[in-house]
Structure 1
Amino acid sequence: MQDYEQRGSFYLGRDYDLAQRKVATAKLLYDSSDLTTHAVCVGMTGSGKTGLCLSLIEEAALDGIPVIAVDPKGDLGNLLLAFPELKPEDFRPWVDPSVATQKEITPDELAEKTASLWRNGLAEWDESGERIQRFNDAVDKVIYTPGSSAGIPLTVLKSFHAPPQEVIDDTDIYQDLVQSTTQGVFALLGLEADPVKSREAILVSNVLDHAWRSGRSPDLAGLIHDIQQPPFTKVGIVDLETFLPAAARLELGMKLNNLLASPSFASWLEGSSLDVGQLLYTTEKKPRLSILSIAHLSESERMFFVTILLNEIVTWMRSQPGTGSLRAILYMDEVFGYFPPTANPPSKKPMLTLLKQARAYGLGVVLATQNPVDLDYKGLSNAGTWFLGRLQTERDKMRVLEGLEGASTQAGATFNRKDMEATLAALGSRVFLMNNVHENQPRVFHTRWAMSYLRGPLTRDQIRTLMQPRRAEFAQESSAAPNAEVVPGKSQASAKPILSGSIVQKYWPLAEALPEDCRLQYRPGLACEAKLHFVQASADVDCWRILVALQTIAERLPEPMWKSAMLLENTRPLEDAPRLEGEYADLPSPVTQQKNYTRWDNDLVDHLYRTERLTTWKCTILDATSKAEESESEFRSRLGELALRKRSELVEEAKRDFAKKIDRAEANVRKAEDYLSSQRSQFWFRLGEMLMVVVDVLMSFMGKKRSSRRQPTTAVERTMRERGEQSRAQDKLEAKMEELEQLKEELASRIEQIEQECDPANLKLEKQETTPRKSDIDVGRVVLVWLPWKLGANGNAEPAW
C-alpha cells in the first residue's frame, strides 16, 4: 500500500518549487483530523479551486467519511462522473459537442482525447482506474435537487422539525435556531425580517418556539394556521391583538398561503424529507456523498434552503457524542452571499455556530469562494486550514492576509505577513499555498489530477440522467404510506389499490363540502407540472407559462396519452393524503406499472410542443402588440384610449395634407370669379356700344344725322365675342368650384375612413401564434392523482374537484 493510501491521509498533490516553477516528488498528505478545525479554499476562476475541492471530497470518500456538499453552481455533480475503465464511451455522453466543433473534430474523437487525457493525467499522479473504482464503491453518491424533480427531490417544508431537547436546553443555540429559521421563511417570501424590530418576525419566532417546546413539528400549512390563530394570547407582556392585529396576521398568513398554493411551489413539498442522518448514511449505514444542487433556485429560495439545512446540521451535530476524529464534512462551494462581513443574512448565524462548535463533534466545515472580499474573516478565524490559490486583485490578497493573520493568532501560531504576501503573488494555475495551523510552516503544492471528470456545471437534464436509475428507490422511501381500508358500512366501496411505492400518489383537493346524501369516490388521473417557454422576437414574446396537465382516466387510457388533457393554471397544491374516507375506482393495468410513468412524461413534452400555442394580437395601425396571455377583448379594451389619440393624429394629418390643395382650389375659384366679373363688365360695355349703333341706324332711317360712325356689323361682332368670353368664364368658374367641392368631399371621406379604422370595435388585429421552445419545456414527475367525485343516491356522479 502506498503512503497516501493510508487511512487518515488525504492525497491532495505534490510540493511545488515556486522559484523553479517545478513540481517536486514529495506528496502533500493532509491529515484528515486537521479538517475538524475547518478549512477555507480561496481562488479566482481558473486557479484550480474546483479541482482541489473535488479531490479533497474524493479523498474523504476513500476514507469512508460522509460528505454533505452544497452546490450553488452545478459543478459538484462531476463527482458522479468517475469512470474506472477510462473508456472513451464512458466520456462520450458528457463531452461538450460545441468544444468538438471548435476543435474541428467529432464528439467521438473528443471523447477519445478526453479519455486519453484522463488516463495520462492520473498515471502522472500515481493514480489508476482501480483507485477510481474504490472511490465509487466507498460511498453512495446522490444528487438532491430541492424544489425540482431533476435529481432526487428533497423537501424541507413537510415540517419544520422540532430540535432535540439538548438543543432546546442550550439557550444560545436554540435562540439562534429559532431566529435563523424565521429569517429563512421571510427570505423565501422575499421579505426582510429584523429579529428585534419586525413584529411579523417576532410573531413567527414565537409560533415556532411554542410549537417546538410543545414537541410539535408544524408543516407550512400548520405554520399558516398558527400565525393566523396563534396558540397564545400574549407576545411578551402585550396582548396578541395589540401586538399584531388579526388583519395583519391574516395578511402575513395569506402571503405564505399564496406561496403554498402556487403550482410552481408544489415541488418543494415532494421528495425525501430533509434528514441529516440520511444525507450522511444510507439505511445500510454506508457513507453517502450527498450533493445538494441549488443552481436552479432563485436567490431567495437558495437562502431559505441553505438556512434550513444549516439549522438541521446544527441540530444533528448537538445530538452526536463528542469525538476528536473527523466524522463528516460539510462542504459549500461559492459561499459568497451566505457569510458576508457586515450584513447578517439568515444563513450567517448557523454557519458561525458550526465554525465555532462543530470541531467538538467531528464535523469539518469546508468553505470555498472566488470572492474573498465578501467573506467575514473574523468568523473565518476559526478555520485552521487555508488553501490559497491565485487571486485576482490586491484587495483580495489584503483580505486573505487579514483572515490568515486572524486564524494564526487564534491558534497561537506565528505569521510572517511579508513572506506570505510574496508567496501569494507568485502562485499560478493549480498551484496553492496551504497554511495549516497544525503544521510548522505553510506549504506550496500543485494539486493532483482529479479522479472525477471535470466537465463543468451539469444541466438539469444531465442531473436527471444521472439520477434516473435511483428514482424508484427514493420514491419508494418518500411515498411509502399505509393503504386505505374499506370504510365500514359501505358495501359498495372499493379499497385503495395496492401499488408499488415507486408510483407517487396524490389527491386533488376537494372543491366543496360533500353533501350528506352523497358518497365519495376517488377516480384516477395523471397529473404533471410543466413549464413552457414561448420566445418569438418578431412578436415581442418572451415569457414562461406554468401549468398542471391533468388527464382523467376512464376504463381505458386515451391514445395517444394526454390528447384530452386539461391544462390548468393557478391550481391548488396536490395533497399527500385524502381529507375524507371514500371508495376507489378500478385502475387500468398500465397505470399500475411504474415503467410507464417515465414514458408518459416524455409524451407530455411532445404533446405540449405539438398542441400548445401562445396567441398574441398585433394592431398595425397603432403599432401595438398584446401582452402574453392577454385576450383579444382585453387587448381591444386597452387600445381604446390609444386609438382615440391615433384618430386625432391621423385626422389632423389628413387636414394638413389637404389644406394646401384646398387653399389652391379656393384661390382658383376666386380668380375664376374675378375673371367672370371682368368678362361681364366687358360684355355690358360692348352691349352698350351695340345699342348706340342701333340708335344711330334708326335715326338715319328717320333722316336724322348719325351721332356715331361705328359700324353696326363690327359692334355686333364685338358684343357676341364678349358674350362667348363671359360664357367660357362661367364654365371655368363652375369647374373650379367643382374641383374645390371634390377636394372637400375627399377630405371628409378620408376623415370618415380614419374614424372607422380607429374605432376600438373595428380595429384590425393580426393573430400571431408562438410555439413553445421545445428545449425549454420542463415537465416534472408524472403522478397518479386521485380525483374526488360525489355519487348521489340516484347513481349520478359529479366531480367534487
Structure 2
Amino acid sequence: MTPSDLHLGALLDPESGERTDRPLALAPESFTTHGVIVGMTGSGKTGLGIVLLEEVLASGRPALILDPKGDLANLALLFPELGADDFEPWVDEAEARREGVTRRELAASTAATWSKGLGSWGIDGERIRALRDGVSLRVYTPGSTAGAPLDLVGDLQPPAGADAETIREAAESLASGLLTLAGIDSDPLTTPEHILLATLVERGWTSGETLSLETLIGGIQSPPFRKLGVFEVDTFVPPAARMKLALRLNGLVASPSFAAWRTGDPLDVQSLLWAPDGRPRASVVQLAHLSEPERIFVVTLLLSRAISWMRAQPGTSDLRAMIYIDELFGFAPPTANPPSKTPLLTLFKQARAHGLGLVVSTQNPVDMDYKLMSNAGTWMVGRLQTERDKARVIEALRSADGSVDVSAWDARLGALGKRQFVVKRTRSAQPELFTTRWAMSYLRGPVTRAELAALPPETIAAEGGGKAEPSTTGGRTGSTESAAATSTGAAEIGRSLADDESPLMPEIADGVRVTWLDPAAPWAGKLGLSGRSGRLEAGLAGRVRMVFDETRADLRHEVEWEVVFPPPLEALVRPEAMEAVDYDARDFRPEAPADARYVLPQAPLDAKSFINQVGRDLRDRLHATLELTLYHNPELKLYSRVGESKEQFQARCLDAAEERADAEASKLRARFEAKIDTAEDQVDRAEARLRELDVDVSSRRQQELVSGAGTLIGMFLGGRRSTRSLSSIASRRSQTRRTEERRRSAEDKLEAEREDVEQLEARLAEELAGIWEKWKAASDRIEIVEVGLEKNDIDVSDIEVFWAAREE
C-alpha cells in the first residue's frame, strides 16, 4: 500500500470471514479501466461508493457524480466534531419514536456510534476536517432550484477545441436528449426529425455558433440548407412534420417549469470538476426528482460534455478525474438504446487514455449492457438477489479476463454478508473478500429536495450568487412517503403558517397521482384558480368516458370529458360540484412550486375508498341526469346525428323527402308517358298534314296567278274557248277552294291535338305538385327523442389530486 492508494477497507479471512489487518488499497490508476459495483438493496453498495468517492476526493482528484436516488448528497454531511448537535438535524424522528427516545438522544447515540466506528479505522476529526475543507462540494438539482441550479440548455455552446468527430457525437447526443425530453422516440439513423435536429446543431457548432432552443426552433422551421443527404429538405422532413417538431420544442421553451432548466451554473465540465479557488470539486447531480425522460436528457447531456472535455485533455496513465453513477438502471440497458447509452459506451472505451475513470453501480447486472461489463477492469460485487445475477457477473468477468476461476468466484459470491464484497482487480484472476471501512460522511439515506436547504449554503447556492430557494417534494404517485417526506425538512422551512396550513403535503391515498396546477392552464381562471405558489388547496381531476347507444337510431356515440372538482373539497364531494373543462397533461405539473403551503383538506384524501366513492357518485349522477337529445322523423324513418341542430336535421329531412317524391314521380311518369307520347304523335301528324296542305294551296294559288284573275270570265264571254277547256279551268279553281277548306280543317285538328297535350301536362303538373306537398309536409313532422345512459356505459377513471391556489 502506498500513500496515494485509495483505502476502501480491509481484507477478510476467507475461512472465518473475520476482518484482517491487511487493508484493501487500490491504486487510483486502476480505475482508469473503470469499475463496477454490484449488489442488491441492503448490501452496502451505496456506502462503498461513498467511501470510494471520499478516497478519490481526499487524493486531490475531482468527481462528477450522477445521483438517481439522492444518497450521494450524504458527502456533504461531514462533522469533524462528531457532536450530537451536528447529527440532530439529520437523524430520523420516526426512528427516535420507535426506539422510545427523544430526537436529541438519538442524535447523541448516533454521534457516539459514528465516532466509535471511525475510530476503529483510525479516522479522527482532523481527517474529516481536511476532507471537508479540501474539497468544494456542490449538489445540483437540474430542473429545480432546491439545490444549486444547473443551466443545461440556456446557451448551447460548441464543445471547446473539439474535433469534427467530437462535435458530431455531441450533436447526436444533444438531439437525442432534446427529443427524449420532448417525448419523441427517435433513432439517430432512421428518424428524419433526429437527423434534421442533429444536423442543425452540428452545422451551428462547426461554424462556432452558440445555439439556443430558440435558434434551433427557427432552424427547424426554415433550415439553413436545402438538402439532407440526396433529398430536398421538404421531401425528407416535410414542412408539416417540421412544424410539429418545432411546436413540441416550443412547448418546452414556453413552459414556466422549463425556466429552471435554463438558470444556474453553466454546464461546463471544467467548472463541475474544479472550484474557482483550485480545489477539486465533487459535483453531485441529483436526479431523483426528475421524470425518466428528464433523467435521460440530463445524463446524456452531461456525459456528452464530459466526452468533449476528456478529448481536450492530454493523455495520461494516472487518474485525472472520476465519473460515478450511483444506479445505472435505465441508462445503458442490454437491449434498448436510450440516448444516454451511446456516450456511456464511448467513455468506457476511450476515457482510459485521458485519465478519466468511470465507476457505475447497479442492483441487477442483467440491467447493464454487456459491452460496459466487459470493459470494466475493477469489479466489487456484494450480495446478489438471484443465481441469474451471479451467473451474469461471472460471465462478464470471464469475458474480460479468461483466467477467472469460476468456481472460486461462485463460492465467494454465495457467502457474502452486509458490507462485504468480493473484489476483482485488474490483472488479478483470484477473488478477494473485503469489508468496507467506516464512511466519514454520515450515511443517513436519501436527502430530499426540502432537506437540501439545511446543507451548507455554498453547497447549494448559485455560483457567485445567493442561496437557491428550496422547493417542496415533487410530483409522484401518492403513497405513505408523502406523509413522511421528511420531518427535518419541515423544520428547515422558515415561514409563518396559518392554523390550517402545513409545509408538507398531506398524505394522499396509495396509487393516486398527485400534481400541481400549471399557471398557464387556460381554463383555470374560469374556475377562480391559479397555479402560483403559496397557499395551495386540493382539488380532483379525472376523465369520464360515456357511450350513448340506440339501436333504432343506429347510434353508438362515445363521449370523453375531462372533469374537475375545484378546491376547496368538502368532506363529502357533491357530484354537482363537477366542472367539465378541456384539460390535457400540460395543465398539471409533476412538481410543487417553491414555498408551497398546503391547506389541510376536509376531504379524506388519504383513503382510496373516498376517491373511488367520488367516481361512483359522479357516475350515478350522470346516469340519472344526462341524456342525449335527438330529432326523429317517423315517416322518413330518420334520426338526427349527434351534434346536428334542428335546422340541419330539417334540411336533411327535406333532402330525403325530395328523394321520396322523385321516386313516386318516377311511377307517375310511367303512367303518363304512353298518353303523352300518343298525344304528341297526333300533334306531329296534324302538323305534317297541315304542312302538306299549305304546300298544295300555295301551288294552286300560284297556278291561278299565272293564268291571271278573271281569265275564265273573259274567255267565256269572248267565245274564244270551248266548253271543255273552260270546264277544266273552272275545275282547277274549285279544287283550290276545296284544298283550302281541308287546310282549315287540318288546322282545327292540330289545335285540338295541342289542347289535348296541354290538358295532359296540366294534369301531370297537378299530380306532381300533390306528391311534393305530401312529402314536404312529411319532412316537417319532427319529434324529439331522448337517449339515456346505462350505468355500464359510464366509466369514471384517472381521478387524481391536484393542488392549486384560489384567486383572491
**TM-score category of the 2 structures, normalised to the smaller one:** 0.5 to 0.7
Instruction: Give 2:578's aligned amino acid.
Output: S
Answer yes or no: is the 8 Å Cα contact 1:34–1:438 preserved in 2: no
Alignment partner for residue 205 of structure 1, among 198, 206, 212? 198
Tell me the residue number matched to 2:445.
456
- Map 1:646-725; keep pairs closer than 5 Å: none
Alignment of 1:615 onto 2:586: no
What is residue 132 of structure 1 aligned with on the other side?
A: 128
Q: Does 1:221 align with 2:214?
A: yes
Of 257, 268, 283, the residue aligned with 1:264 is 257
Go from structure 1 to structure 2 and tell me whether the alpha carbon gap of 1:640 and 1:252 turns closer, same or farther (over 3 Å shift). farther
- Taking a change above 3 Å as real, the CA distance of residues 257 and 535 of structure 1, as seen in their structure-2 partners, is farther
Name the CA shift for 1:619/1:445 in 2 (closer, same or farther; >3 Å).
closer
Cα 1:391/1:567, change in 2 over 3 Å: same
256 and 140 in structure 1: CA distance in 2 versus 1, 3 angstrom threshold: same
In the alignment, which of 119, 122, 142 is matched to residue 123 of structure 1?
119
Post-superposition CA distance 1:379-408 (Å, at most 9, x none):
321111000111110000011011111221
Cα 1:619–1:148 shift into 2, 3 Å: closer
Q: 1:567 to 1:27 in 2, by over 3 A?
A: same
Q: 2:435 aligns with which of 430, 436, 446?
A: 446
1:437 aligns with 2:414: no
Q: Which residue of 1 aligns with 2:307?
A: 314
Cα distance in structure 1, aligned partners of 2:372 and 2:461: 42
1:545 matched to which residue of 2? 516
1:158 Cα offset (Å): 0.7
1:772 positional shift? 8.6
C-alpha change, 1:144 and 1:249, in structure 2 (3 Å) is same
Task: Report the Cα offset of residue 288 of structure 1.
Answer: 0.4
State how 1:274-673 maps to structure 2 within 5 Å. Answer: 274-409=267-402, 414-439=403-428, 441-466=430-455, 468-469=457-458, 474=463, 476=465, 543-547=514-518, 569=531, 605=534, 607=535, 614-615=566-567, 626=578, 642-645=623-626
Per-residue deviation, 1:646? 8.1
What CA deviation, in whole Å up to 9, does each residue of 1:648-704 have, x standing for no partner?
9xxxxxxxxxxxxxxxxxxxxxxxxxxxxxxxxxxxxxxxxxxxxxxxxxxxxxxxx
Would you say how many aligned residue pairs link Structure 1 and Structure 2? 541
**Which among 159, 163, 180 is matched to residue 159 of structure 2?**
163
Give unmatched runs, 5+ long, in structure 1.
477-500, 505-530, 550-565, 572-603, 649-757, 759-769, 778-801
- Name the CA shift for 1:630/1:100 in 2 (closer, same or farther; >3 Å): farther
Match of residue 103, structure 2, among 107, 110, 128: 107
With over 3 angstroms needed to count, the CA separation of the structure-2 counterparts of 1:442 and 1:373, relative to structure 1, is same
Shift in alpha-carbon separation, 1:176–1:81, aligned structure 2, 3 A: same
Q: Distance in 2 between matches of 1:541 and 1:54?
A: 35
SS at match of 1:378: helix
Q: Which residue of 2 aligns with 1:184?
A: 177
Assess if the C-alpha contact under 8 Å between 2:275 and 2:281 holds in 1. Answer: yes
Find the residue that maps to 1:143 and give its secondary structure: strand
Q: Give the structure-2-normalised TM-score.
A: 0.62
User: Cα distance, 1:377 vs. partner?
Assistant: 2.4
Change (3 A) 1:541 1:42: closer
Task: Tell me the distance in 2 between the aligned counterparts of 1:469 and 1:65.
Answer: 19
Per the TM alignment, residue 614 of structure 1 is displaced from its structure 2 partner at its CA by 4.3
SS at 1:18 equivalent? coil
Shift of 1:532: 10
* 2:61 pairs with 1:65: yes
Q: Is the 8 A contact 2:423 2:431 kept in 1?
A: yes
Corresponding residue to 2:36 among 40, 50, 64: 40
Name the SS for the 1:40 alignment partner: strand
Percent sequence identity is 43
In 1, Cα distance between the equivalents of 2:38 and 2:84?
Answer: 33
C-alpha spacing 1:282/1:390, structure 2 compared with 1 (3 Å): same
Secondary structure at the counterpart of residue 23 of structure 2: strand
Residues of 2 paired with 1:34 and 1:424: CA distance?
22
Are the counterparts in 1 of residues 460 and 468 from structure 2 also a CA contact under 8 Å? no
**Residues 112-145 of structure 1 deviation map (CA, whole Å, 9 limit, x = unaligned):** 1100100110111111111111111221011011
In structure 2, the residue corresponding to 1:152 is in which secondary structure? coil
Aligned to 1:656: none
Task: Return the letter of the residue paired with 1:432.
Answer: F
> Compared with structure 1, are the counterparts of its residues 622 and 447 closer, same or farther at alpha carbon in structure 2 (3 Å cutoff)?
closer
Label 1:624 to 1:436 Cα distance change in 2 as closer, same or farther (>3 A).
farther
AA of the residue aligned to 1:615: P
AA paired with 1:305?
Answer: V
Question: How far apart, in 2, do the equivalents of 1:37 and 1:536 lie?
Answer: 47
State the Cα distance separating 1:627 from its structure 2 match. 5.9
Provide the rounded CA distance (Å) in 2 between the counterparts of 1:771 and 1:189. 24
Asked whether the equivalents of residues 539 and 568 of structure 2 are also in contact (C-alpha less than 8 Å), the reply is: no
Deviation readout 1:176-212 (Å, 9 max, x if unpaired):
3332221111110122102222111111111112111
1:301 and 1:194 map into 2 onto residues whose CA distance is 18
The 1:37/1:132 distance shift into structure 2, 3 A limit, reads same
Residue of 89, 104, 108 corresponding to 2:85: 89
Unaligned runs of 5+ in 2: 470-502, 521-527, 541-564, 584-614, 630-787, 789-799
Deviations 1:32-83 (A, max 9, x none): 1111111100011111111111001001111111000000000000010110
Shift of 1:441: 3.4
Name 2:586's counterpart in structure 1: none
| CA distance in structure 2 between the partners assigned to 1:48 and 1:608 by the alignment | 40
CA offsets 1:280-307 (integer angstroms, 9 cap, x no match): 0011221101100111000000000100
Q: State the one-letter code of the partner of 1:187.
A: T
Deviation for aligned residue 1:624? 6.2
Q: One-letter code of the match for 2:250?
A: N
When the two chains are superposed, the root-mean-square deviation of aligned CA atoms in Å is 3.7
Matched with 1:698 is none
After alignment, is 18-27 or 58-67 more displaced?
A: 18-27
Distance 1:475 1:285, change over 3 A: closer
Structure 1 counterpart of 2:110, one-letter code: T
Aligned equivalent of 1:527: none
Distance 1:536 1:473 in 2: 33
CA apart distance, 1:213: 1.3
* 3-state secondary structure, aligned to 2:394: helix
Amino acid at match of 1:340: P
Per the alignment, residue 479 of structure 1 pairs with none
